[in-house]
Amino acid sequence: MTSIDIYPFLRPSEDALIVKWTVNGVESIESSEIPHWDPATSIKIQANVSINLQKIKDQCKFSDDDIIRISFKWLSLGTNLLKCSESVDTPLETGLFEDTLERGFSTEIDGGLIFDHVKCSIIISVVNNCKNSIHPFIKKGAILLAKDLEINLDSEESRFPVEQIDFNNNFHLPADAGWFLDWNPDDLTIMALGGIRLYINSHHQNIVKAVTMREKTPVNSAITQMIKFDIARSLFFGALQNEKFLEDPDDYEEGSIGKHVVRLIDITFPNEDINGLSNQVKDSKKRQNLECKLQEKLKLFQELI
Amino acid sequence: MQPLNLQSEKFSATGNLVSHGLLNAMGRPQHSLQKILLRETVQNSWDARSSDEDPVSFSIKGWTATTAQMDFLKKVIFVEKPKKFDDLEKVIEHDDHIDFLVVSDRGTTGLGGPTRADKISNITGPQDFVDFLRNIGQSTDRKYHGGTYGYGKAALYLSSSIRTICVDTCTSHENKPQRRFIVSAMGEKFTIGKGEYSGNYTGRHWWGRISDDEIVEPALNSDAEKIASELGLPGFTSNEFGTNILILCPKFQDLDHDALMKSLAECIPWYFWPKFIPDKNGIVPMKFELQWENELVPIPDPYKMPVVRKFIESYENYQRMEKTLSDNSENGVHKIECKKPKKHLGKLSLIRFPAEARDIHINTETDSDIPFTGQTHHIALMRQPRLILKYHSGPPLPDDMVGYAGVFIVDDEVDRIFARAEPPSHDDWIKTLLEGTERTYVSTYLIRITEVLRQFTDPPPIVSGDEQQQIPMGQFSQFLAPLLPGVGNSSQKMIPRNESSLGVSPTDGRYTGKSRQERALRKSRHKESPKSIKIKILESPEVINLEGKRTAVIKFDFDKIPSCVGYKIEIDSAVILDGNSIEKEPPAGSEVPYLIGWKKADDRDWIKEKEIFIPSDQKGPWHIAVSITRDILTNISVTGEAEFTK
């Protein structure tokens, strides 16, 4: 089946509007995906537009009195927020316009306003009711052409639950600590997405600088690796000291903390028995060796870039 | 030396308070006796300070009386023995050695004023001697005094197993220093049936020098000084005023000397730490000393006690904001107000801090004197004299890793009201002791404090959006994702592993590829529709006016299929609503898009048939004319099938 949308008025051909999109400085065609996006990340969008005004006037049979509008808008499909960032009106009176209009539109969208997908559009619409146009059907507001860019914000990559809070304003936590892993090692049946969370102290400038991962420096790399190691160590030793976990490590639901930790242990120590690891945790000296092995397995500080 | 004279108080015709009435006035305080004694005497000393600029020295010294001191008690002090006072008599007659405990202050005014309660005095000002030794329940009329009802002195008598104290004071009398010494005891009430001394007695006794009108008065000046010296009481330098109170046979539950002194040493920083804080001139308001048998007992420095130190920090925070009228809740200082009637009741300063090892100075033998143990979630309540009334336990924070310490200080305008709400043990504010508006104030302060504490201890809202700069952490979150390896995530990339070690097979759902069955189904479907042809729309539809109707002309073509007899073309229409939804069933009475006709592109005339059949030998492209609804976006779908038989 082939389907086509028929507008109740004349429309110009698609080639009357050419848009070149760039998202965060990267050229994009029709769709784009932003790696590592999160709500704290804003998006810079640039649309360089080329419009054949003469073709539009001819094909739509506009009169000299008619005016068209070129608008740049974005719509977040996840939040249903719609914004017209910029628009420009162009009269179609002979002598007042050049055949081709070249123009750049740009906007920076706050990450807190968007979710899922963002659809950016350059839209050419009619400003007036075109009473004098040769073709009487066209009306004010009619959309003649639109070119879209869809930006996918929802990466397929999985994520660890991380949240920033100011430890200064949170009495649970020491004001100058860098991070805190909030979980309950005594109950591993809780779903990981609700039961485990890494809090980053937004007040701690060095930690903040590191976790944004914008600047790839050895210090930032060391900090993020240390946090990762610390989480792994907490998960390992927390679970390996949980008697219920040791009784039946395979008895956890998919998605539960217990299930994740079993996998983590299997991946990290594929040839070791969980109860054997637990015995190492209970023995202080062996525990030190196990921590040391964990450092190696997680490649702690092996690459500091 | 001439023995002291005894006077036992007789009931007057209108009645008196018996000695036990005073002793029972203390009620059943929640604190230990030694703590009450300490709180009462420190408070008295602070109230009696000679000036706000000079520090007050406070000491408690104990020792076992020497033989000479025992002899002096027997031969000078207690030569005359009261009736029905067996405890005293037993001690004096049979004990060779008893303990002395002396509570002393210096830098105070001493117990001045008249020495008798019955005579109209020309002396204006405080009547401390009379209030302390003669009257019972005398309320102070001085501003910012810690003590109020005058019952607290019962703690001194209760601390003596024979309910007897010796009072040695140096005060200013008629602008000259005057030393006064008197002994006071609270025995059992008794009756003497006949003889010179017949009558009902209250049980209160005084030993001193008898006056002309048969009233025992204190020994004065050199006489008093000599008596005090014989008993080993601390002396006074010239122009030094103050008081020594000797508690005979001190007894505090079953505490031995060491335990008693340790307990006192522990209480001092907990209840009097504001007096350790230097004033604006750098002067420490009170100096404390404890001694047993000439050996100093160390008093912990409140600045070095982790928990007490936090209350000091909270207090210092209060001091910084003390003079400001506005609410400084952002800085941790909250105004506590009664809303109806409107009255400022005081200020509450709160600080949070990470939990640390508990105060290392806790004395395990007497830990009942520690105001609280465990997590700190307490408010030190005090009035303007800045002596701790008690530690109010607020709601604990949800996380025991963090505690909070607060200080609430009553505003000076309502200080007297709160003072009157204190029981004799000065360890609480009790609203039922007051009436009317004053009761409202005292019942309100705790409600308001509780409100502030509830907000203070509730988990703070997660600050986000405009309120706090957000940190982009998506990449970091993905960096950590391998720590939660699960179905279909990227953990495998991050940690080299033996895939089988995960214990999950590739067919358990982790992989998102199509199943074998699904592929087979799609293949069979393909076989079921071999006649379909692909319609190609060649140009954007043109909107024209055809026979007075707004008409869309669609130009199309398709790839030919050999051996077929022709092609059946069908159209279907719908309107597109706002939001891109499609409506196929129009509202009643509405115009519906329909096929007007079709033709070869080059032909002039339209073939007006409802079905389109194009013979296989004809070549396109073709046009379809479809009526469109006015001002509505119409969706036309075109399908075609190759027919092999007519």
pLDDT for res B518 = 42
Mean pLDDT of chain A: 87
Chain A: give the shortest CA distance to residue B472, in Å.
4
Whether A164 and B473 lie within 8 Å, measured CB to CB: yes
Closest-CA residue of chain B to A205: B471
pLDDT lower than 70: segments of chain B: 15-29, 120-125, 136-152, 323-330, 356-368, 398-400, 459-470, 487-530, 579, 646
Strands of the A162-165 sheet, one edge to the other: A162-165, A197-201, A179-182
Judging contacts by C-beta atoms under 8 Å, the chain A residues touching residue B534 are 2
B36 contacts chain A (CB < 8 A):
no
Query: Which of A205, A126, A109, A147 lies closest to A21 in space, CA to CA?
Result: A147
Amino acid (one-letter) located at B405: A
Query: Which helix (H) or strand (E) is B181 found in, with range?
Result: strand B176-186
A273 contacts chain B (CB < 8 A):
no
Query: Which of A16, A214, A19, A14 lies closest to A106 in space, CA to CA?
Result: A19
Which residue in A13, A39, A161 is closest to B540 by CB distance? Answer: A13
User: Using CA atoms, how far apart are residues A181 and B221, in angstroms rounded to an integer?
Assistant: 73
B573: left (phi over 0), alpha (psi -120 to 50) or beta: beta
Whether B473 and A11 lie within 8 Å, measured CB to CB: no
Judging contacts by C-beta atoms under 8 Å, the chain A residues touching residue B503 are 250, 262-263, 266
Chain B: give the shortest CA distance to residue A242, in Å.
18
A200 contacts chain B (CB < 8 A):
yes
Which structure tokens are listed for A113? 């306003």
Whether B471 and A202 lie within 8 Å, measured CB to CB: yes
Q: What is the pTM of this model?
A: 0.55
Q: How many CA atoms lie within 13 A of B175 on its CB side?
A: 0
Which structure tokens are listed for B61? 């010294």
Identify how many contiguous H helices and E strands chain A contains and give both numbers: 8, 13
Q: Tell me the three state secondary structure of residue B337.
A: strand
CA angle B538, B539, B541 (to 5 degrees): 125
pLDDT for res B149 = 42
Whether A202 and B556 lie within 8 Å, measured CB to CB: no
pLDDT for res B515 = 36
Domain range summary for chain A, segments of one domain joined by +: 14-152, 162-297
pLDDT for res B328 = 60
Helix, strand, coil percentages, rounded to 5, for chain B: 30, 30, 45
User: Using CA atoms, how far apart are residues A123 and B233, in angstroms rounded to an integer?
Assistant: 101
pLDDT for res B234 = 94
Q: How confident is the model at residue A45 (pLDDT cuts 50, 70, 90)?
A: very high
Structural domains in chain B?
5-297 (3.30.565.10), 306-361+372-457 (no CATH), 532-643 (2.60.40)
Whether A39 and B470 lie within 8 Å, measured CB to CB: yes
Which residue in A172, A235, A260 is closest to B398 by CB distance? Answer: A172
pLDDT for res B530 = 47
What is the interface size between A and B, counted as CB pairs within 8 Å? 216
Question: Could you tell me which CATH number the domain at A14-152 has?
Answer: 2.60.40.3880
Least confident window among A136-145, A178-187, B177-186, B262-271: A136-145
Interface of A with B in 94-113 (CB under 8 A): 111-112
Q: What is the pLDDT of residues A253-298, one digit of tens each?
A: 888 999 999 999 988 888 888 889 999 888 888 888 888 999 998 8
Which residue is associated with the tokens 């009756």? B191
Interface of B with A in 430-489 (CB under 8 A): 457, 459-460, 462-465, 468-481, 483-489
Distance set, CA B563 to CA B232, B511, B534, B566, B644 (Å): 136, 44, 17, 9, 7
Interface of A with B in 214-243 (CB under 8 A): 214, 224, 227-228, 231-232, 235
CA angle B542, B546, B547 (to 5 degrees): 175
What mean pLDDT do residues A170-179 have?
80
Terminal-to-terminal C-alpha distance of chain A? 54
Secondary structure letter of residue B76 according to DSSP: I
pLDDT for res A73 = 95
The predicted complex's ipTM stands at 0.75
Which sign does the torsion angle of CA B130, B177, B3, B196 carry? Answer: negative
B634 contacts chain A (CB < 8 A):
yes
Whether A1 and B638 lie within 8 Å, measured CB to CB: yes
A61 contacts chain B (CB < 8 A):
no
pLDDT for res A128 = 81
Whether A38 and B541 lie within 8 Å, measured CB to CB: no
Q: Chain centroid to CA A161: how far?
A: 14
Whether A160 and B626 lie within 8 Å, measured CB to CB: no
Interface of B with A in 486-515 (CB under 8 A): 486-492, 495, 497-498, 501-504
Chain A: give the shortest CA distance to residue B378, in Å.
15
Judging contacts by C-beta atoms under 8 Å, the chain B residues touching residue A39 are 470
User: Using CA atoms, how far apart are residues A47 and A42, in angstroms rounded to an integer?
Assistant: 16
Which residue is associated with the tokens 């969208």? A109
Cβ neighbours of residue A59 closer than 8 Å, sequence gap 6 or more: A10, A11, A12, A13, A16
Query: Which of B155, B180, B164, B34 lies closest to B100 in space, CA to CA?
Result: B164
pLDDT for res B459 = 62
Chain B: give the shortest CA distance to residue A173, in Å.
7
3-state SS record for B254-291 = CCCHHHHHHHHHHHHHHHHHHHHCCCCCCCCCEEEEEE
Count of C-beta atoms within a 10 Å radius of residue A6? 28
Q: What is the DSSP string of B101-170?
A: EEEEEESB--S-S-S-SSSPPS--S--HHHHHHT-SSPPP-STT-S--SS-TTHHHHHTBTT-EEEEEEE
Closest-CA residue of chain B to A236: B483
Which residue in A35, A202, A264 is closest to B483 by CB distance? Answer: A264
